[in-house]
A and B are shown apart, each in its own frame.
Chain A
Amino acid sequence: MSEAIARQIDPSQMKVSDEVAIQISQMNKWYGTFHVLRDINMTVNRGERIVICGPSGSGKSTLIRCINRLEEHQQGQIIVDGTELTSDLKNIDKVRSEVGMVFQHFNLFPHLTILENLTLAPIWVRKTPKAEAIEVAMHYLRKVKIPEQANKYPGQLSGGQQQRVAIARSLCMKPRIMLFDEPTSALDPEMIKEVLDTMIELAEEGMTMLCVTHEMGFAQAVANRVIFMDQGQIVEQNNPKEFFNNPQSDRTKLFLSQILGH
């Protein structure tokens, strides 16, 4: 189990509303003839923190990439914040500006400074005045504890710092939902902690979070639900306590024994 988690918070203490943030029903997706997501049904309430895990190739990244339509699904329904995802472009840009996404490889814009990375979308998508956008950006940079890097370029930062900038960049759009696609997988062990700390802080503030990760310590610390996927389908979901101590399916038991076994 990861030793990266600095403090333990009690996930059950954090409040979850009844309001639905994401509703996925009978969703199917194919890559060519390969059936990558099969009959996905899932409801996420506002304020929920969900960790999605599973072996590689199980479709977990594809699933969260479908939620802001970086991937298109072919069957079923995805409703994000009351808007159904269809090929209507106006809907998609609206949904995307409400849903923040953090990538495995950060995907910061290397030709812009950190500050410009953070203010770009607020200025061009939200039409925020520049001075206000800078103020908001500095606020989030302080929050991820790297305000002094504002005028550097991404290439000059460490991986952990870059990922924290990427989180701050998403937050500058004031999203209602945050998606994390293996945010710590490309980081050195020393840097995983600083990114997880930022994510935990975010969880404590009640952000709706969907997180694909192998950091089981993080799952135990902040998740109120863990979803296990294999072969493109949801195999098991439960609260972290039950999920780790009392897994039901054989696939889950095998997976847990493999990643927690040493």
Chain B
Amino acid sequence: MNTSTSTFVRTEMLPEQSPPLTEAGAVKWVRENLFSSVLNGILTVLGVAVVAYIIVGIAPWLSRSVWNAGSLSECRQIIAATWGEGVTGACWAVIRERWPQYLFGFYPSHLYWRPVLAFALLVVAVAPVLFDKLPRKMLWFSLVYPAVGFWLLWGGSVWVPVTALAGFAIGYAAAKLIQPVAGTILATIAAVLAPVLWWLFLAGPVADALHSIMPIALQGVRSREFGGFVLAFTIGFTGIAFSLPLGVMLALGRQSDMFIVNKLSVGFIEFIRGVPLITLLFTASLLLNYFLPPGTDFDIILRVIIMVVLFAAAYIAEVVRGGLAALPRGQYEAADALGLDYWKAQRLIIMPQALKISIPGIVSTFIGLFKDTTLVVFVGLLDPLKGITDAVRASTDWKGIYWEPYIFVGAIFFLFCFGMSRYSMYLESKLKTDHR
């Protein structure tokens, strides 16, 4: 051993240096990423060939698009006249001609402004929820939007949504009144029970009474007239808005020490997750009528929404439970040690972190829910994908058209689902606080 190296004193600390510059340039990138070995080279060539094959197959068809025609045969004539006999082309004219039907189904055409306005207001209501830079006061509008949207879409007396909304105020008031007298648990029960009783027994008569005093109403639209994207958005957005809170409550229930709450949550989640959505939808459309008193008019869209909400909530509950399980015990202990009660600890410490962890899973569930709205076709509602497209293809004008409507509807769904996915990534990076 060399003694001169076994004792060593550094006289000067080394300065920080920038990392060595790798050779730049496209050639370098191609060599590293596409042709780094013989096998990778072969795979690259194969991949390019597959992509080229697909493009060569589709591009001519797409390039021969027709946008103005009254029927499929007219479309074909135009294609033959423009590009010659025997070639095929895309006939987007069907979308153009049936556009209102795809958007509104059989919604009365002189009332189209109502769903359009409802959608515009939906954007206003959702914006402050999605982007916290917007003024917080806008959230009040988000809270009353469900009633506004309901009234615009279905019409009828304004007092129906107003009394429905009043149920929430009643629940809040009941909780506030009972909390100081009888404690948190009884207050929570009252907060659930009071509005349910109100909705079941009082809301109807009160709305009727108010309507007879001050009749303000829009022309009513029946649920069977809904269709297309109005139907998909109505079910999708309501489902998303209500399944998240319900899912969070179920996740907390499943974590609870209280025996009955725990077992009810577990039973509910496992039952709903174990049954296909279609089964629930059939139950909603067929079986529920047998159980309800004869003559009860229980709206079909409302029934479907309830089932979709329950279905998505069970999945969200499990996703959120995963987020809860990922939190270290120390977080609960620190919250307890500071004297925060259960709900404050959940709201301020636990849920913000658990939901952040769960964002990808929650958004996946939302995307699944939104796409599953097309399944309502099985209970006789006109979803855009099959319901409306079948109606379009059943007409003599468009008999035989196949690809174009499905591509169009698929593209619209993709647009919204991709949007949700990108938003979830934005949210994740915004909430990232471990700057390690």
Which size bracket describes the interface of A in this complex? 20 to 34
Q: Which residue of A lies closest to B333 (CB)?
A: A70
Knowing A155-B435, A156-B435, say if A111 contacts B338 (CB, 8 Å).
Answer: no
- Contact partners of A139 in chain B: CB under 8 A: none
Residue of B nearest to A124 (CB): B344
A97: chain B residues at CB < 8 Å are: 338-339
Which of A97, A124, A173 has most B Cβ within 10 Å? A124
Q: Is A68 engaged at the interface, CB distance under 8 Å to the other chain?
A: yes
Within 8 A of A (CB), among B412-436: 431, 433-436
Does A96 sit at the interface, judged by CB under 8 A? yes
Interface check A169, CB cutoff 8 A: yes
User: Is A74's CB within 8 Å of the partner chain B?
Assistant: no
On whether the beta carbons of A121 and B352 are closer than 8 Å, the reply is no
Collect the chain A residues with CB atoms within 8 Å of residue B356's CB: 111
Do A155 and B338 have beta carbons less than 8 Å apart? no
Instruction: Say yes or no: is B349 at the interface (Cβ < 8 Å to chain A).
Output: yes
Chain B proximity mask over A140-155: 1 for CB below 8 Å, otherwise 0: 0000000000000111
Residue of A93, A109, A153, A169 near B339 (CB, 8 A) is: A93
**Is the Cβ of B337 less than 8 Å from the Cβ of A68?**
yes
Contact with B along A76-98 (1 / 0, CB 8 A): 00000000000001000110110
**Contact across chains for B435 and A89 when beta carbons are under 8 A apart:** no
Give the interface size bracket for B toward A: 20 to 34
The prevalent SS among residues of A at the interface is: mixed
Q: Is the interface of B mostly helix, strand, loop or mixed?
A: helix
Q: List, sorted by A's number, 20 A–B pairs whose CB atoms are closer than 8 Å.
A: A93-B341, A96-B338, A96-B339, A97-B339, A105-B328, A106-B330, A107-B328, A107-B330, A109-B331, A110-B433, A111-B352, A111-B356, A111-B433, A120-B340, A124-B344, A125-B338, A153-B435, A155-B435, A155-B436, A156-B435
A101 beta carbon closer than 8 Å to chain B: yes
Given A109-B349, A110-B353, A155-B434, A173–B334 Cβ distance below 8 Å?
Answer: no
- Chain A residues whose CB sits within 8 angstroms of the CB of B270 once the complex forms: none
Q: Which residues of A contact B288 (CB under 8 A)?
A: none
Chain A residues with CB below 8 A from B340, complex form: 93, 120-121, 124-125
Q: Write the residues of chain A forming the contact surface with B, with a CB cutoff of 8 angstroms.
A: 68, 70, 89, 93-94, 96-97, 99-101, 103, 105-111, 120-121, 124-125, 153-156, 169-170, 173
Residues of B within 8 A of A (CB): 184, 328, 330-331, 333-334, 336-341, 344, 348-349, 352-353, 356, 431, 433-436
Contact of B341 among A89, A106, A108 (CB under 8 A): A89
- Report the Cα distance A108→B338, complex, angstroms: 11
Inter-chain contact B434/A121, CB cutoff 8 Å: no
Give the complex CA separation of A107 and B337 in angstroms. Answer: 11
Interface centre among A68, A94, A111, A125 (most CB of B within 10 A): A111
A122 CB, nearest partner CB in chain B, Å? 9
Contact between chains at A120 and B338 (CB < 8 Å): yes
Contacts A111-B433, A153-B434, A155-B434; A96 near B334 (Cβ below 8 A): no
On whether A101 and B337 interact (CB within 8 A), knowing A107-B330, A110-B353, A120-B348, the answer reads yes
The interface residues of chain B lying within 8 Å CB-to-CB of A154 are 433
Contacts of A109 in B (CB 8 A): 331, 334, 349, 353
> Counting chain A CB atoms within 10 Å of each CB, which of B333, B339, B341, B352 scores highest?
B339
**Given that A70-B333, A103-B334 are known contacts, is A173 also in contact with B339, CB under 8 Å in the complex?**
yes
